[in-house]
């Protein structure tokens, strides 16, 4: 009788094992499209056998634990490459905006406006007494100054947009770190019972990847299953079941948004902007603080050189009525900000007769100064007297194009890397509907066979009980 009971117990355990396996298979199928999900499986263990005399009789199997099929080293590699992907994506997007500022295929650019200005001065040198030629010089000079201001304004707009992106991304980072800290607590509560927190760990791994896409992080898991996350070098965002926030705000020293870390509510916020070199924030800051600032410096140098060189020549000449020349442009105080403040002298703007074309007074038809000004275009007045205005500007445009192309290629290369890693992860941890369907049929048959075993044991009981009646 005891052997029949043991057989029935074995069938019952097998029935429960099949039911658990079927439920796990259903869980896998339901989460086929869940981002970051790792397929799960039931680990079956041989049950403790019983010994009768010199026989050891097996007692079937029992469900040991439900585990997830996961490669932690691959997950960490995906997170690191995701940080690079976020950096390249953000950098490429911002550089595309910068490239449009210098796109002269559809619209006139600074170079063309400078050419128009110097050509109008050449036209004036051909007819120094012409009021129409003088008016053209004034209008072309004003248009050139406005285009310098346009370039600066559009580059500043890109910087402001990046500031907005940084603020938005910081808010998203704070939400993610809060959830990671909450998941830490859940993982700890579940695994203290010696049960793997499969779904919680999948969600936490996914959040770490998403966090890495936004900012460069380093993280590690302790023996207790809790992860600690650090952004940059010193900003500890998650420690145990608590999280700290980042803040994005403008500073008094720079009119730009900076990222601050505040470890406690009473602590002093620490500026960690310089520590951020990866993720979407890192890519955006690289373009904002390096690429665009360099371009603004180059534009200012050009505007300063044009205003200074033209003013030097113009102030030495004489106007239509023989009066001493005045400043043609308002002279910038320094190179910094020269492009944004570039404008015509009000005296020249209000009276084109004050434009000096002659080299001496009382000499109708004298075009000495006009020729001197028009010649500035081909003189080496940039880079310490090693390049002309046209060469200098074309070099900058060429560099912008090269930087954009390199960024696009880097982005495409990183996409390929991420695609390969994602495919590898999918082959290891992903859910295959064909495979799960096959398993489902297998477990269903095992369930039927287990039920059959129980039925057979029950019939054996009946046979033993009916022996008395014989």
* CA distances from residue 314 to 158, 243, 345, 354 in whole angstroms, order as listed: 36, 64, 12, 10
Confidence band for 238, pLDDT divided at 50, 70 and 90: very high
* Per-residue pLDDT reduced to its tens digit, 364-377: 888 999 999 999 99
* Per-residue pLDDT reduced to its tens digit, 438-448: 999 999 999 99
Q: What is the mean pLDDT of residues 44-72?
A: 88
pLDDT at 468 over 90: no
* Per-residue pLDDT reduced to its tens digit, 204-226: 999 999 999 999 999 999 888 99
The lowest-confidence range among 95-104, 143-152, 167-176, 274-283 is 95-104
Contact call for residues 81 and 418 (beta carbons, < 8 A): yes
Distance CA 110, CA 470 (A): 114
The pLDDT value given to residue 48: 86
Contact call for residues 180 and 207 (beta carbons, < 8 A): yes
Phi/psi at 248 (5° precision) = -120, 120
Contact call for residues 29 and 438 (beta carbons, < 8 A): no
The pLDDT value given to residue 4: 82
Phi/psi at 318 (5° precision) = -135, 145
Contact call for residues 324 and 318 (beta carbons, < 8 A): yes
The pLDDT value given to residue 59: 86
Which residues are paired to 62 by β-bridges? 45
Confidence band for 469, pLDDT divided at 50, 70 and 90: low
Q: What is the mean pLDDT of residues 82-102?
A: 95
The pLDDT value given to residue 223: 87
Helix axes 292-315, 110-126, angle to 10 degrees: 10
Residue partners of 392: CB distance under 8 A and separation at least 6? 298, 301, 302, 382, 383
The pLDDT value given to residue 470: 53
Q: What is the mean pLDDT of residues 272-278?
A: 94
The 3 state secondary structure assigned to 60-104 is: CEEEEEEEECCCHHHHHHHHHHHHHHHHHHHHHHHHHHHHHHCCC
In order, the DSSP letters of 284-315 are: HHHIIIIIHHHHHHHHHHHHHHHHHHHHHHHH
pTM: 0.89
Residue partners of 177: CB distance under 8 A and separation at least 6? 211, 229, 237, 238, 243, 244, 245
The pLDDT value given to residue 321: 87
Distance CA 399, CA 289 (A): 17
Angle at 446 (CA atoms; ends 440, 451), nearest 5 degrees: 125
β-strand 257-262 against 270-271: which pairing, if any? antiparallel
β-strand 217-221 against 227-231: which pairing, if any? antiparallel
pLDDT at 1 over 60: no
If one compares 209 and 2, the residue with the highest pLDDT of the two is 209
245, two tokens = 């926030």
The pLDDT value given to residue 228: 95
When computed from its CA atoms, the radius of gyration of the chain, rounded to whole angstroms, is 38
Distance CA 148, CA 338 (A): 9
The pLDDT value given to residue 2: 59
* CA distances from residue 241 to 95, 182, 208 in whole angstroms, order as listed: 39, 6, 15
Percent of the chain with pLDDT over 70: 99
pLDDT at 332 over 60: yes
pLDDT at 168 over 90: yes
Q: What single-letter DSSP state applies at residue 267? A: S
């Amino acid at each position: 009788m005891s052997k029949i009971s043991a057989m029935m117990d074995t069938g019952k355990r097998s029935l429960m094992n099949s039911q658990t396996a079927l439920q796990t298979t259903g869980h896998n199928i339901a989460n086929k499209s869940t981002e970051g999900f790792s397929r799960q499986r039931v680990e079956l263990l041989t049950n403790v056998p019983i010994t009768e005399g010199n026989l050891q009789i097996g007692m079937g199997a029992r469900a040991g634990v439900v585990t997830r099929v996961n490669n932690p080293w691959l997950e960490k590699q995906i997170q690191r490459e995701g940080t690079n992907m976020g950096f390249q994506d953000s950098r490429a997007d911002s550089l595309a905006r910068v490239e449009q500022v210098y796109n002269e295929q559809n619209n006139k650019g600074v170079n063309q406006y400078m050419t128009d200005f110097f050509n109008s001065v050449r036209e004036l040198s051909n007819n120094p007494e012409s009021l129409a030629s003088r008016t053209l010089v004034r209008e072309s000079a004003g248009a050139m100054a406005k285009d310098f201001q346009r370039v600066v304004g559009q580059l500043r707009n890109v910087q402001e947009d990046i500031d907005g992106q940084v603020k938005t991304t910081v808010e998203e980072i704070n939400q993610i770190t809060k959830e990671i800290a909450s998941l830490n607590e859940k993982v700890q509560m579940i695994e203290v019972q010696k049960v793997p927190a499969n779904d919680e760990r999948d969600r936490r791994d996914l959040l770490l990847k998403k966090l890495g896409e936004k900012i460069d992080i380093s993280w590690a898991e302790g023996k207790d299953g809790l992860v600690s996350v650090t952004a940059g070098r010193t900003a500890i965002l998650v420690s145990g079941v608590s999280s700290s926030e980042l803040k994005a705000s403008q500073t008094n020293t720079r009119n730009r948004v900076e990222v601050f870390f505040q470890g406690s509510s009473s602590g002093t916020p620490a500026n960690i902007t310089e520590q951020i070199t990866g993720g979407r924030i890192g890519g955006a800051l690289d373009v904002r603080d390096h690429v665009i600032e360099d371009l603004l410096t180059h534009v200012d140098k050009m505007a300063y050189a044009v205003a200074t060189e033209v003013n030097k020549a113009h102030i030495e000449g004489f106007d239509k009525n023989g009066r001493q020349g005045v400043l043609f442009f308002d002279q910038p105080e320094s190179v910094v900000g020269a492009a944004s403040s570039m404008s015509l002298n009000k005296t020249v703007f209000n009276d084109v007769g004050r434009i000096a074309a002659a080299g001496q007074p009382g000499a109708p038809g004298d075009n000495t100064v006009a020729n001197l000004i028009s010649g500035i275009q081909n003189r080496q007045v940039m880079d310490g007297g090693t390049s002309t205005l046209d060469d200098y500007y074309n070099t900058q445009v060429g560099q912008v194009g090269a930087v954009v192309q390199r960024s696009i290629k880097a982005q495409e290369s990183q996409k390929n890397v991420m695609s390969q890693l994602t495919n590898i992860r999918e082959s290891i941890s992903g859910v295959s509907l064909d495979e799960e369907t096959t398993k489902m049929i297998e477990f269903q048959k095992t369930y039927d066979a287990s039920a059959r075993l129980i039925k057979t044991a029950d019939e054996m009981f009946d046979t033993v009980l009916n022996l008395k009646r014989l």
